[in-house]
């Protein structure tokens, strides 16, 4: 059975299916799919999965912003360097129902009995002496960044990154880190990534054209992406939009499907208007948006 996830998985997972090959991330709220690579091209990939998932195949899109990491070397690679039939973790972005999710990060080419890195979102930070105590959204454990931790930056292959060693002050809540863990939950390596969950900020510096017409409404920036109002753009393009106040969810009817956009899953309610990322309009509604 082939499956495209519509939400990020939650709940405690049993990891026995792949224990003879590699250890899946221990987490109470995993935002990760794992399996063996069936194929990986420039624009998409597919995993063969097993227990505990109730599907045997998982498809995902690869974007320019997708961080693809060779697990053993810890370096960014091109998708063509992802080896087939090898263990792999995929950290997906929020996915719309019946649509293939985009991969935020792909941890590939995982050797046997190897502690692969984790792609986690910072939830809480506190400094204790020379150490930094970090809690993550995806894991209940508290990790320790020490003076012996290798602290650096990482970005998708070919993307520019800041050429300086990061400091503790640069690690913020909402930032996604690539971490290698050691004993007693100490971090052996910690890489700052370009991915960041942030509150939307209004901008006047971006001009937007939708299907060739200038857009006159509000524009916001969050999580490194442009956000635009859902209803006005969707309805102008001929799509039906509805709202459920009880669940705080917007719905857009797209052909035979109805796509749900709950507030809080990378969708924002600002002044009674739902704002969603540009990728929704381009990937789901197939609108042409230019900046």
pLDDT 10s digits, 65-86: 899 999 988 899 999 999 999 9
The alpha helices in the chain, defined as continuous H runs, are 230-236, 278-279
> How many other C-beta atoms can be found within 10 angstroms of the C-beta atom of residue 12?
10
Instruction: Report residue 189 as tokens.
Output: 């390596």
CA dist 244 and 186 (Å) reads: 44
Residue showing tokens 């996604």: 176
Is 70 within 8 Å of 81 (Cβ atoms)?
A: yes
Domains delineated in the chain: 2-108 (2.40.50), 118-196 (2.40.50), 201-290 (3.30.457.10)
- Measured CA to CA in angstroms, residue 55 lies from 10, 42, 99, 283 at distances of 15, 24, 15, 24
Instruction: Report residue 146 as tokens.
Output: 């020490």
Q: Which of 156, 151, 57 is nearest to 106 (CA)?
A: 156
CA dist 179 and 145 (Å) reads: 10
pLDDT at 264 over 90: no
> How many other C-beta atoms can be found within 10 angstroms of the C-beta atom of residue 178?
24
Name 104's Cβ contacts closer than 8 Å, sequence gap at least 6. Answer: 65, 66, 67, 91, 92, 93, 119, 176, 195
Instruction: Report residue 166 as tokens.
Output: 């990061």
Average of pLDDT values for 176-193? 93
Dump pLDDT digits (tens) for 147-172: 999 999 999 998 777 678 888 989 98
pTM of this structure: 0.72
Q: What is the mean pLDDT of the chain?
A: 83
Torsion of CA 186, 188, 192, 196, to 10 degrees: -40
**H or E element in which residue 93 lies:** none
pLDDT at 221 over 50: yes
Residue 232 bridge partners (DSSP): none
Q: Which residue has the higher pLDDT, 204 or 230?
A: 230
- Measure the N-to-C terminal CA separation of the chain; round to a whole number of Å: 40
């Amino acid at each position: 059975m082939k499956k495209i996830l519509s939400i990020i998985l939650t709940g405690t997972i049993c990891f026995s299916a792949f224990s003879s090959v590699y250890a899946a991330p221990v987490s109470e709220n995993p935002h990760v799919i794992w399996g063996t690579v069936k194929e990986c091209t420039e624009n998409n990939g597919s995993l063969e999965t097993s227990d505990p998932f109730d599907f045997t195949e998982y498809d995902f899109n690869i974007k320019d912003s997708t961080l693809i990491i060779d697990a053993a070397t810890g370096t960014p690679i091109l998708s063509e360097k992802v080896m087939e039939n090898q263990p792999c973790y995929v950290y997906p972005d929020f996915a719309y129902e019946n649509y293939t999710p985009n991969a935020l990060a792909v941890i590939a080419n995982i050797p046997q009995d190897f502690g692969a890195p984790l792609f986690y979102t910072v939830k809480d930070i506190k400094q204790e002496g020379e150490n930094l105590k970090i809690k993550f959204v995806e894991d209940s454990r508290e990790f320790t960044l020490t003076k012996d931790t290798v602290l650096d930056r990482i970005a998708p292959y070919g993307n520019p990154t800041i050429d300086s060693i990061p400091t503790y002050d640069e690690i913020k809540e909402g930032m996604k880190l690539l971490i290698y863990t050691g004993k007693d939950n100490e971090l052996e390596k910690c890489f700052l990534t370009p991915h960041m969950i942030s509150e939307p900020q209004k901008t006047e510096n971006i001009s937007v054209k939708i299907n060739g017409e200038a857009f006159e409404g509000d524009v916001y920036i969050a999580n490194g992406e442009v956000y635009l109002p859902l209803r006005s753009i969707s309805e102008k393009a001929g799509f039906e939009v509805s709202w459920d106040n009880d669940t705080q969810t917007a719905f857009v009817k797209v052909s035979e499907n109805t796509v749900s956009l709950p507030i809080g899953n990378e969708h924002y309610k600002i002044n009674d208007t739902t704002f969603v990322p540009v990728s929704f309009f381009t990937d789901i509604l197939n609108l042409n948006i230019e900046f």
